[in-house]
Amino acid sequence: MNKEKVISIFQTLQKNNPEPVTELYYETTFQLLIAVILSAQATDKSVNAATTKLYKVAGTPEKIIKLGENKLKSYIKTIGLYNSKAKNVILTCKMLVNDYANKIPEDRETLQKLPGVGRKTANVVLNNAFGQPTIGVDTHVFRVSNRLGIAPGKNVDQVEKKLEKNIPEKYKLHAHHWLIILGRYTCIARKPQCYKCSVVNFCDYKKKVLLDE
Query: What are the two backbone dihedrals, phi and then psi, of residue 39, each rounded to the nearest 5 degrees?
Result: -80, -10
Decide if domain 3-20+135-212 falls under CATH 1.10.10.60: no
Q: CA-CA distance, 54 to 72, in Å (whole number)?
A: 8
Lowest mean pLDDT among 17-21, 64-68, 186-190, 207-211: 207-211
pLDDT at 46 over 70: yes
Q: CA-CA distance, 203 to 34, in Å (whole number)?
A: 35
Give the burial string for 136-167 (b: 16+ CB within 10 Å, else e): bbbebbbbbbbbbbbbebeebebbbebbeebb
Catalytic pick among 56, 63, 77, 138: 138
Catalytic pick among 56, 77, 120, 196: 120
Q: What number does CATH give the domain 29-130?
A: 1.10.340.30
Catalytic residue status for 138: yes
pLDDT class of 209 with cuts at 50, 70, 90: low
What is the predicted pLDDT for the residue at 213?
44
What mean pLDDT is reported for the chain? 95
Name the percent of the chain lying above pLDDT 70: 97
pLDDT in tens, 61-74: 999 999 999 999 99
Catalytic residue status for 120: yes
Residues 205-209, mean pLDDT to the nearest whole number: 71
What is the predicted pLDDT for the residue at 72?
98
Domain boundaries, the chain: 3-20+135-212, 29-130
What is the predicted pLDDT for the residue at 125?
98
pLDDT class of 205 with cuts at 50, 70, 90: confident
Please tell me whether the overall predicted TM-score, pTM, comes out greater than 0.85 for this model: yes
Residues 143-155, mean pLDDT to the nearest whole number: 96
Q: Would 3-20+135-212 and 29-130 be classified into the same CATH topology?
A: no
What is the predicted pLDDT for the residue at 79?
97
- Cβ(112)–Cβ(122) below 8 Å: yes
Q: Provide the sign of the torsion angle of the four alpha carbons 175, 41, 182, 6, taken in this order.
A: positive
Residues 186-197, mean pLDDT to the nearest whole number: 94
